[in-house]
Structure 1
Amino acid sequence: MRFRHPDGTAVHLGYCSNVHQAEDLDGVLAQLATHAEPVRERLGVDRLGIGLWLARDVVRQLVAEPGELRRLRDELAARGLETVTLNAFPYAGFHREVVKKDVYLPDWADEARLSHTLDCARVLTALLPDDAERGSVSTLPLAWRTPWPADRADTARRALDRLTAGLAAIESETGRRVRVGFEPEPGCVVETTAQAVRELRGLDPERLGVCLDACHLAVQFEEPGAALRRLAEAGLPVVKLQASCAIEATDPSAPAARTALRRLAEPRFLHQTRTAAVQEVQEAQEAQETQAVQEVWEASEVRGVDDLPDALDGGLPTDTGPWRVHFHAPLHADPEPPLRTTADQLSRVLAGLLGGASADCDHIEVETYTWSVLPEPPTDLPGGIAAELAWARARLTGLGLKEEHQ
């Protein structure tokens, strides 16, 4: 799906295929037939964006076998699908029975991460629509925070210099530009926009920037306006927005809330959980005191644990403020009461990026990869994804963007 911002920028909206399980090319092609094309048909559009997650073995095959790469491009076109972005954060095995912290391996101190990311960029240049201005690839925020000694941090920084050079070489060879966005995530070396500025400032903004995940932003209790200003002032472009919602328990001590949270504490994915005292923030927001909101947010103490079961077993206080959980919740649907989502936070991120005179991001990817681990997984996954995209479409058109049709 494409939209036109009032400034003339083409804004691409799609969904991420990491919600589907496939570790080989045949599996990826089957996803397009059984999920992506039905999503497009449910939306009643003639063109749907899909942000592909391609496991490492698939990427290797596509780089080595140009005929297979053409087959993927042809299949996308035949089903009314287009790809302007790849999710290169998970490396492989994203739907194993237990993933947890393995999703952060290999990290940016490992040569394999650089090689994989550049290969993803090469693949993407062949998949980009002819009229797309550029492509994007999202990746992990350097590494999980421990262990991260100085020598590994130095190795990673040198890898980013090589990444910049590699992307420039790919553009020279293909005529197509691809930017890489590092995705701040709770628990990682870069988990907040302030840390993104600290670790990534000074990189080439034509090649590298941030992939902003709205769920992660909410879990860290970052105020969207202040976060976006911080990135802009540091010269870090938002290469891509992951349109996602976290789970919030307003009163985590309530028995009903704890029961609902227990049902989300599943074994596959890591569900980092944070708490902060936000009453003063809410009061400032209600009074529309923008400066006060920023000051209170920045002064508030965010406390957290690495997984939801740790929080439920006493790792987080229940009397200091709400809990927010890194559990990507469907954008359009309410979770089990009394839980709620941070959809209002996502709406504010969209407004901050696209509600002004200029478009500050042109790739938006709905990334709810957790459908299969919901307490009640959907019987109609294409219908659920289509409903999420319809939710996002309504927010974009409400900001003044015009949907385009072929």
Structure 2
Amino acid sequence: MQLPDGLGLLTYSTLVHAGDTWSQMRDSLATYVPEVKARVSPDEPFGVSLRLSGKAAGVLAADPDERASLGDLLDREDLFVYTVNAFPHGPFKGASVMERVYEPDWTTEERATYTCQVADVLADLTLRAGRPGLSPSIQTAPMAFAPKVGDEAYVSRFTSQVLRVVAHLADLEARTGVRVKLAIEPEPACYLETTPQTIAYFERLRDPRSVAELARVARLPLSEAEGALRRYLGVVFDMGHQAVGFEDVRASLIALTEAGVPVFKLQAAAALWVEDLDADVVPALREFTDTIYLSQTTLQQDGGRRSFLTLGEALDAYAGDLRPTELRTHFHVPVFLEEIGPFRTTRPAVQDALRLHRELPLSDHLEIETYTWDVLPEHLKTGSITDYVTRELEFVRQELNTSG
């Protein structure tokens, strides 16, 4: 939905629905999104965040009739696509995902080709929708799972692939008039995890060697290559990810802005937070360990921090070291909840970020990404998935209406 006062477009991620194949995603799109639109935007067009797996992107990129059919569906339901989640290339529902979610990583031809296919599909959908002022965005993985990045050569390989995609985006705009933006999403346990790491990597992308490489690949004058990087490459800022790392999200967003790193998508997400961990609540926390996703967890003890790939590993470590502990874990929970069972959520970080966005619009694309409905403990689910998504959208809209 279009927010007032230049605050951008707001939607929710269809990553919450089944969508590992194009037929699954199309069914989810036709089933759930119109229900949500009827509740939150009945009289205005509703923007969609479309999850496209590698298989789905390949189908749409290769078949103009299927793209036309998708365009017809969107038109009938008064919908338009303004962002695509192209982070998970492979399966994301129904079976263990864990660190496979980062594969293929950005060192591979497969990741670059997939991203270019998504860009081509987005440009075509934007033209079909007749929305020439729309600059759609692609959400992508934070380069690689950190344990895989062993040396400088690995970083150079994925940097070259990113530059190749930026070159494709520049050519795509020249051919179609549609500017598609690539947004990298920092995440715990990845090469890009913290805001300082992200800023440092963008500085590397803008150093003379990278700019010269882009100029060569894109066949651009050197004087235009750095501008192309700023025009087509930015970040997704996931409030939950940065809160898990104990970042001050307001300060992080200001730091990105001051460093000239564009926030192409501002993502409202909340994580599970235990301010004072004690042995009595550990059994209740263990209910959140039965998940197919990584649950990167940070323990803060005596001012120091330890990071773990899963909540279960963190709880095992705590059992052997019962000092006063604060815990935050990458388990997405509904953004409208301040508490979930006996625990808190990082909703205050979401509210801080939205307050800053109200004061200083940071991005034209906003999205809620709580994809864990299917793995929430059953006793914590209330209502349908449509109810849940609607409540999240209404919460964010209300926060933006009242912030400041």
TM-score category, normalised to shorter length: 0.7 to 0.9
The Cα offsets for residues 163-219 of structure 1, whole Å up to 9 and x where unpaired, read as 211110111111000111111100001111111011222441111011100110100
Output the TM-score relative to the length of structure 2. Answer: 0.88
Alpha-carbon distance, 1:121 to partner: 1.1
Which residue of 169, 172, 183 maps to 2:171?
Answer: 169
Contact kept? 2:48, 2:79, Cα under 8 Å:
yes
Structure 1: which amino acid aligns with 2:292? Answer: R
2:220 corresponds to 1:217? no
Alignment-derived partner of residue 314 in structure 2: 311
Tell me: CA distance 1:315–1:143, structure 2 relative to 1, closer, same or farther (3 Å): farther
Partner of 2:39: 42
Q: Equivalent residue for 2:217?
A: none
Alignment pair present for 1:243 and 2:235: no
Pick the structure with more helix per residue.
2
* Partner in structure 1 of residue 193 of structure 2: 191
SS of the equivalent of 1:14 reads strand
Aligned match of 2:138: 137
Contact 2:338 2:346 survives alignment (8 Å): no
How far apart, CA to CA, are the structure 2 residues paired with 1:158 and 1:44?
A: 41
Contact 2:276-2:324 within 8 A present in 1 as well = no
| Counterpart pick for 2:343 among 328, 339, 361 | 339
DSSP 3-state at the match of 2:273: strand
RMSD: 1.8
From 119, 122, 128, the equivalent of 1:121 is 119
Indicate the structure whose relative CO is greater, using CA pairs within 8 Å and at least 6 residues apart. 1
Aligned positions of 1:281-360 closer than 5 A: 301-314=304-317, 319-356=323-360, 359-360=361-362
Match of 1:147 in 2: 148
Contact 1:329 1:368 in 2 (8 A): yes
Letter of the 2:247 counterpart:
E
Q: Does the Cα contact within 8 Å between 2:20 and 2:93 map onto a contact in 1? A: no
Per-residue deviation, 1:110 = 0.9
Structure 2 residue 300 is matched with structure 1 residue 273: no
Q: CA deviation at 1:313?
A: 1.2
Q: How far apart, in 1, do the equivalents of 2:325 and 2:173 lie?
A: 48
The 1-side partners of 2:47 and 2:265 are apart by 13
Identity value in percent: 34
Question: Secondary structure of the residue that 1:263 maps to in structure 2?
Answer: helix
Residue identity opposite 2:240 in structure 1? C
Evaluate the alpha carbon distance shift between residue 263 and residue 345 of structure 1 in structure 2; reply closer, same or farther with a 3 A threshold: same
Indicate the residue corresponding to 1:103 in structure 2.
Answer: 101
Structure 1 position 205 matched with structure 2 position 208: no
Counterpart of 1:365 in structure 2: which amino acid? E
Q: Secondary structure, in 3 states, of the residue corresponding to 2:8?
A: strand
Give 5+ residue unaligned stretches, structure 1.
279-299, 401-406
Cross-structure match for 1:160: 162
TM-score normalised by structure 1 residue count: 0.87
